[in-house]
Amino acid sequence: MNFASDNTCGAAPEMIEALRIANGGAVPSYGEDGLSARLKAELARLFEHDVAVYPVITGTAANALALSTLVPPHGAIFCHREAHIATDECGAPELFTQGATLVTLAGLHGKISPDALEQATSRFVRGSVHHAQPAAASITQVSEMGTCYRHDEVRAIAEIARRHGMKLHLDGARLANAIAFLGCTPAEATWKAGVDTVSFGMSKNGALAAEAVVFFHPEEVRDFEFRRKRFGHLISKMRFVAAQLLCALENDRWLHWARSANARARLLAGILRDIADVEVVHPVDANLVFATLPESLILKLRSAGAKFYDWSPPERGRRLVRFVTSFATSQSEIEQLRAACA
């Protein structure tokens, strides 16, 4: 019953097998190998668009490298105040960009609204050297609160970004879960809705450690490859990162895994909702469940071996907690939780 995060599980067994197969013989290093080439072709096919693809091994690296390529040092980046880049990367975006300004926005259920974005950008005087210059909006899909932006929401944000000369970045650490929920194509979830660049994550969805920065507009790649090298993220035996991403895409495994995780989360949310004293506080679009539980229940669940994170300090005997499911969450874990709740 480990619901602490979708990175506490290991990798899918298929991943290990993919590494074993990729391991035969000598190939050029630093991404000049055949698997890396195949990955680029597969992602172009998947996204139905020309893409530039750069594998890395952490989401923080993917986000910070992508943003520092899209945004000048004097740029401003707009994101939700709970966005991973604002709260969980310890200043990596500011570091990689040589000091760009992160502007954090409030917004219901972890999503920024077009209005909030429009209003926030208006505070920055264009062309004034005293003010950071609006340069990018970054949205997280699935959001940190477990919700998904709908296409029209993304399009509205993209439209404002365009109007203000900003790029739209999508932190897709859980993009698979969003696509599984939305029932759309990867193209619809990204460039067709106006997204320019994606941090395409697989580390939370079956891989050992594999992400890719995907650019839909080659002219925006600029000096990305130099940045990746200089920040220490150019892996010599790159075939092993490509192999993981290819393994996930093969037979749509990534979406099967995400659908499984989402389904488990829905079940888990249902169990919680059936308890009188529990409130599920955000829509459960994907694989994250946020709920306020009485301390007694929290204690009971933990005594039964359930792992999950506190998300707030206790208040009047209750507390907000977070449950995360993953591709590896089993039906029996859900049933154990149900039993523990009883």
Report the site for its own copies in 2-21 (rule: CB under 8 A).
2, 4-5, 7-11, 13, 16, 19-20
Which of 36, 51, 83, 94 is the binder for its own copies (CB under 8 A)? Answer: 94
Strands (E), 29-183: 52-56, 75-80, 101-105, 133-140, 167-172
Q: Does 101 bind its own copies (CB under 8 A)?
A: yes
Task: Please tell me the distance from the alpha carbon of residue 35 to that of residue 212, in angstroms, as a whole number.
Answer: 14
The CB-of-261 to its own copies minimum distance in angstroms stands at 14
Which of 34, 99, 305, 317 is the binder for its own copies (CB under 8 A)? Answer: 99
The CB-of-194 to its own copies minimum distance in angstroms stands at 26
The contact mask relative to its own copies for 133-172 (x = CB under 8 A, - = no) is: x---------------------------------------
Q: Which two tokens stand for residue 1?
A: 């019953």
Which of 123, 126, 162, 163 is the binder for its own copies (CB under 8 A)? Answer: 123
Q: Does 232 bind its own copies (CB under 8 A)?
A: yes
Cβ closer to its own copies: 164 or 227?
227
Which of 237, 273, 300, 338 is the binder for its own copies (CB under 8 A)? Answer: 237
Q: Which two tokens stand for residue 156?
A: 């509205």
Cβ closer to its own copies: 10 or 277?
10
Report the site for its own copies in 296-315 (rule: CB under 8 A).
307, 313
Q: Which two tokens stand for residue 180?
A: 């599984």
The rounded Cα 265 to chain-centroid distance in angstroms is: 17
Exposed/middle/buried for 281, CB within 10 Å: 0-12, 13-18, 19+?
middle
Report the site for its own copies in 314-333 (rule: CB under 8 A).
328
C-alpha distance from residue 10 to each of 97, 144, 251, 256, 329 (Å):
32, 21, 20, 17, 11
Q: Which two tokens stand for residue 86?
A: 């604002």
Q: Does 92 bind its own copies (CB under 8 A)?
A: yes
* DSSP helix/strand/coil, 301: helix
Q: Which amino acid is at 143?
A: S
Nearest CA-CA partner of 142 in 108, 114, 168, 177: 177
Which DSSP string do the residues of 33-56 spell out, in sequence order?
Answer: SHHHHHHHHHHHHHHTS--EEEEE
Cβ neighbours around 248 below 10 Å, total = 27
Q: Does 130 bind its own copies (CB under 8 A)?
A: yes
Report the site for its own copies in 25-84 (rule: CB under 8 A).
25-30, 56-62, 64-65, 72-74
Which of 34, 41, 45, 98 is the binder for its own copies (CB under 8 A)? Answer: 98
Cβ closer to its own copies: 147 or 203?
203
Q: Does 23 bind its own copies (CB under 8 A)?
A: yes
Select from 34-42, 109-117, 159-167, 225-233 the region that touches its own copies (CB under 8 A). Answer: 225-233
Q: Does 175 bind its own copies (CB under 8 A)?
A: no
Cβ closer to its own copies: 35 or 193?
35
Which of 44, 46, 209, 275 is the binder for its own copies (CB under 8 A)? Answer: 209
CA torsion angle 232 213 289 340 (round to 10): -60
Q: Are 148 and 142 in contact (CB under 8 A)?
A: yes
Cβ closer to its own copies: 192 or 282?
282
Which of 233, 264, 282, 319 is the binder for its own copies (CB under 8 A)? Answer: 233
Q: Does 197 bind its own copies (CB under 8 A)?
A: no
C-alpha distance from residue 286 to each of 98, 163, 183, 228, 326 (Å):
34, 31, 12, 31, 10
**Adjacent-strand bridge partners of 200:** 172, 212
